[in-house]
Amino acid sequence: MYPVWEVPGLTAGGVLALIATFHILPSHLSVSAMWLNLYLESKAYREERPDLLEFVRKYSRMLLIFAYVFGSITGVGIWFSASAAAPRALSGLIHNYVWGWATEWCFFLIEVAGIFTYYYTFDKVDRKTHLNIGWIFALGSWTTMVVIVGILTFMLTPGRWLVTGGFFDGFFNQTYWPQLFLRTTGMFAIAASYAVAVASRSADERTRADVVRIASAWGLAGLVLGTACFFWYRASLPEAARATFDVLLTPGLQKGMWMPIGLMAGYFAFLRFRPMSVGFTPALLAIAVLFVSIFSFERARELIRKPYLMPQFMYSNQIIGGELPAKGVSSETAAMNDKGILRFAPFVPDGLREVTDANRLEAGRMVALIECSACHTLSPKGLRPLPQRVAALGFTDAESMAAFIDGLGSYPFMPPFVGTETEKKALAAYLISISK
């Protein structure tokens, strides 16, 4: 419905995926780091260990800069790239969950004021007050996760919302609790890997040994509990999503999910017993390994939503194919089939609204932009490129291609074609033309 943004070789959705995955690192760090800080700061006061306090200060500085420079801006980046990739889906989410996001924002206020005050008041305020700032930050920050997980899981399993349209019915859905606990436990592995990296630069041997030992225990616990929660999460998925999970998940993606977990577990276990062998470069590599795992998990979460962006309601190409009587919304597909997608959609150059012999390929390309480009690049290289996919099907004439397009809806992960017969033929002709 909105102007399409084509990103060469990537698709706008690919940009969203990259920004969103990067965002996980600082955002989960900001949610988890303070718990480790609170433990270490209390220990430092209890045992009168200024060296440990010095570590807490350095770790907080890293948290302040990394999470509140790159974390908060990429958080906004997710919105911007979601606007570009799927404006109608984002709009749909916002028109249901605006108060959820606004609620999360209230806790952002606490987070940002909290981290600046926490970092700048070491030795400036009494110990108890400083710890209280930490507690408030830790609680407020984790609460942002409590809120956002409701919206994230709604996109996967909207539950009773499909019937009632109610905020909380969609929010507390069947995957809410497992995913909340999965992220909550997994985040300690992230906090631990950063703590190890910061500690590896510490000149004081005692600090290095103590922090690495403690952090690796936290990391190991996070990985073990996180893995358990993952199986709980997987079991909570609807049948169709689990089937898609098995079909669409490439071996690479599956390996990407599990191998890093194994590697990280080995790394933390090794450091637990040999903390002094920690090094800065391996610690950075470990963060990169963890990133691969997160990327794979998030990709898998996105993939199993197909062919929908909002299950049973809005397709991956942002066409509303379901009914939501509770909010007075009905499917658009009948009107689009009747009127034609090129006449229905507002952002279509005037010369392409009517398919003619002269503009057939251009009009077909316009249909592909509207209905396919959310997931497929139209260029030969990049993310799920249409020229290659069509060539692989082996069709050489527009009629067979059109017949294939007719049956798209029977694939579990593809939305059906919408539009008139003429538009379908134009799309088929265009697809054949780019596959040669």
Partner 1 sequence: MDTPAMLQLLNDPMGVPFYPVVFQVLMVLTFALHILFVNLSLGATCLTVIGRLKGGERWTRLAGGMGQAATASVSGAILLGVAPLLFVQVIYDPFWYASSNLSAAWAIGFIFILMAGYASLYLARDRQGDAGSAFAGFAFAMFLTAGFIMHVLGFQLLQPEKWLGWYTSHGAASTAGTVLHDFSLPRFLHFVVPAFAVTGVFLMLYSWYFRARADADAAYLDWAGRLGAKMAFHATTIEILTGLLWLIVLPRDLRFHAHPLFVLGVVLGLGLLAFLYHAQDRETGHHLYAWPAAGAMFATVLEMAAAREALRVRYLARFGYAIADHRLNIDWGSTTLFFVTFVLCLVVLAWILAVAFRSGRVAGRWEAGPGMKAWGKASIALLVSWLAVVAGLGVAITLRNRGL
Q: Is residue 323 a contact partner of residue 329, using CB atoms and an 8 Å limit?
A: yes
Q: Closest CB to partner 1 among 73 and 403? A: 73
In the stretch 369-398, what mask flags binding to partner 1 with x, by CB under 8 A?
x-----------------------------
**In 3-state terms, what secondary structure has residue 412?**
coil
- Tokens 């963890």: give the residue: 290
- Tokens 């916002």: give the residue: 94
Q: How far, in Å, CA of 55 to CA of 51, rounded?
A: 7
Of 34-42, 197-205, 298-306, 362-370: span binding partner 1 (CB under 8 A): 362-370
Q: Of 11-40, which residues contact partner 1 (CB under 8 A)?
A: 12, 15, 19
User: Least distance to partner 1 from the beta carbon of 32, Å?
Assistant: 16
Q: How far, in Å, CA of 217 to CA of 234, rounded?
A: 26
How buried is 134 (Cβ within 10 angstroms: 0-12 exposed, 13-18 middle, 19+ buried)?
A: buried
Q: Closest CB to partner 1 among 262 and 325? A: 325
Rg (CA), the chain: 25
- In DSSP terms, 315 is beta-bridged to 308
Q: Which of 54, 169, 323, 406 forms a contact with partner 1 (CB under 8 A)? A: 169
User: Least distance to partner 1 from the beta carbon of 400, Å?
Assistant: 27
Of 139-147, 224-232, 408-416, 418-426: span binding partner 1 (CB under 8 A): 139-147
Q: Closest CB to partner 1 among 201 and 327? A: 327
Instruction: Rule CB under 8 A: say whether 50 interacts with partner 1.
Output: no
In the stretch 140-159, what mask flags binding to partner 1 with x, by CB under 8 A?
x--x--x------------x
Q: Which of 20, 320, 355, 405 forms a contact with partner 1 (CB under 8 A)? A: 320
Q: Closest CB to partner 1 among 358 and 392? A: 358
Beta strands in 298-400 (DSSP E): 308-310, 314-315
- In DSSP terms, 310 is beta-bridged to 314
How buried is 115 (Cβ within 10 angstroms: 0-12 exposed, 13-18 middle, 19+ buried)?
A: buried
Of 238-246, 288-296, 321-329, 401-409: span binding partner 1 (CB under 8 A): 321-329
Instruction: Rule CB under 8 A: say whether 188 interacts with partner 1.
Output: no
**In 3-state terms, what secondary structure has residue 329?**
strand
How many residues form the binding site for partner 1 (CB under 8 A)? 95
Question: Residue 191: in which H helix or E strand, if any?
Answer: helix 176-200
Q: Of 99-138, which residues contact partner 1 (CB under 8 A)?
A: 99-103, 105-110, 112-114, 116-117, 120-121, 123-126, 128-129, 132-133, 135-136
Of 64-72, 191-199, 245-253, 393-401: span binding partner 1 (CB under 8 A): 64-72
User: Least distance to partner 1 from the beta carbon of 74, Å?
Assistant: 7
Neighbours of 411 (CB within 10 A): 12
Q: Closest CB to partner 1 among 106 and 247? A: 106
Question: Residue 422: in which H helix or E strand, if any?
Answer: helix 421-435
Q: Closest CB to partner 1 among 137 and 395? A: 137
DSSP-derived letter for residue 375 is T
Q: What is the dihedral of CA 239, 244, 245, 248, to 10 degrees?
A: 170
User: Least distance to partner 1 from the beta carbon of 201, Å?
Assistant: 15
Q: Closest CB to partner 1 among 185 and 293? A: 185
Instruction: Rule CB under 8 A: say whether 160 interacts with partner 1.
Output: yes
Question: Residue 95: in which H helix or E strand, if any?
Answer: helix 87-120
Q: Of 73-92, which residues contact partner 1 (CB under 8 A)?
A: 73-77, 79-81, 83-84, 87-88, 90-92
The gap from C-alpha 27 to its chain's centroid, in whole angstroms, comes to 12
Beta strands in 269-330 (DSSP E): 308-310, 314-315
Q: Is residue 134 a contact partner of residue 118, using CB atoms and an 8 Å limit?
A: yes
Neighbours of 129 (CB within 10 A): 12
Q: Closest CB to partner 1 among 338 and 397? A: 338
Instruction: Rule CB under 8 A: say whether 329 interacts with partner 1.
Output: yes
Q: Closest CB to partner 1 among 87 and 238? A: 87
